[in-house]
Each structure stands twice: as structure tokens, then as C-alpha cells.
Amino acid sequence: MRDYANYPTLFTQDRQPDTDYLAIPEVSSESRQYIPIAMLPPTVIASNKLQIIPGAPIHYFGILTSAMHMSWMRTVAGRLKSDYSYSPSVYNSFPWPEMNDSQRRQMADMSQAILDVRDRFPDSSLDVLYDRDAMPPALRRAHQSLDRAVDRLYRRGGFASERERVEHLFALYEKMHALVH
């Protein structure tokens, strides 16, 4: 690392992906129902305020923007003041559902449907689109549809509350962790 002192104009940590990537804001308002996650091309520079997943398939977007993952995030993420502070530990500890090819395609289609609805509002930032009170009804419906489908990946009957989701996820987490040790 000392050798980099000879090149003070170079960044020593280039974390810019050369492929499309999922961008998750490191800090997001506690008043949002969903963190405004984005799929971005490599031409959009990822700042240090983003957690990124280079080359993530589109169905990852669906799982990570679902009520299931948001429930996990609200429970295990750190806080910056009262806002959510997303870190790799939130992602790495999340119990992902098992999916077959058909379910992955369904998640990809539903993810694309959300992205398509967002594209219908080119003059609105993600901050505006994901404001709890101002979220366009079509975007809310697309998320609710995805939420039901993701819930069914975990349990056929879905979940009646965030608490049920979190309890189920922690049971899966404990089972996963027990297998490792």
C-alpha cells in the first residue's frame, strides 16, 4: 500500500463494477415502506454511500425489495439517527428462499414489472417514488403483488404481519446457522 503514495492522484480502491449492478443505499429513511433499491449500468458511478452487488440477476432485486427482506432489514440493520443503515451483514445474514427455475423467472418478471412502473415516472426520483404518502398507486400495487409472491416462496399461506415474517426468518436463520456449526 505504501507504493500508492507515489501516485497521489490514483484511487487505490476501485470498486466500480464493469457490469450492471444492484445499488442499495447505505442509509434510508425509516418512514419508507421499501428501501429504493436500483438496478444500475456500469456507466453510473457507485458512490461510497451505496452497497453494491455486481452482476446480480434481476430476481435478486425482487427478493431484496420485498416486504420479507424489508422486515429483516428493519429488524437487523443498524441505525443512523433513526434511519436504516444497510450493511453487508444485513444482506449476508438474510435467509434466502429456495427457488426453482420457474420461481426465479416469476421473480424476474415481477421485478421487471416494478422497474417498468418506475420508468413511467421519468421526472420522479426514487426518493419521491418511495415516499410513503406519495408512492404512485401502480408502483404500490406492483410491490404488493411481489410481496405476496415472495411470501409464498417462504410459506404457502404467506404471512399476516411483519412479526410473522421476522419470526419465520429467524427460525430459518437459526436452522441455517446450526447446519454450519
C-alpha grid cell for residue 105?
A: 423467472
The answer to whether residue 4 scores a pLDDT higher than 80 is no
62-76: pLDDT as tens digits: 999 999 999 999 999
Tens digits of residue pLDDT in 102-158: 999 999 999 999 999 999 999 999 999 999 999 999 999 999 999 999 999 999 999
Query: Order of strands across the sheet with 50-54?
Result: 38-40, 21-25, 50-54
Render pLDDT for 159-176 as a digit per residue (tens, 0 to 9): 999 999 999 999 999 998
Query: Residue 124 burial (CB < 10 Å; 0-12/13-18/19+)?
Result: middle
pLDDT at residue 3 in the model: 75
CA distance 89 to 179: 19
Cα–Cα distance list, 172 to 65, 72, 94, 102, 168 (Å): 19, 12, 9, 22, 6
Q: What is the pLDDT of residue 16?
A: 83
> 22 φ, ψ to 5°?
-85, 135
The length of the chain is 181
Q: Is the pLDDT of residue 28 over 90?
A: yes
Q: What is the pTM of this model?
A: 0.89
Rounded Cα–Cα distance for residues 29 and 40 (Å): 21
pLDDT category at 9 given cuts 50, 70, 90 is confident
User: How high is the mean pLDDT of the chain?
Assistant: 93
The β-bridge partners of 53 are 22
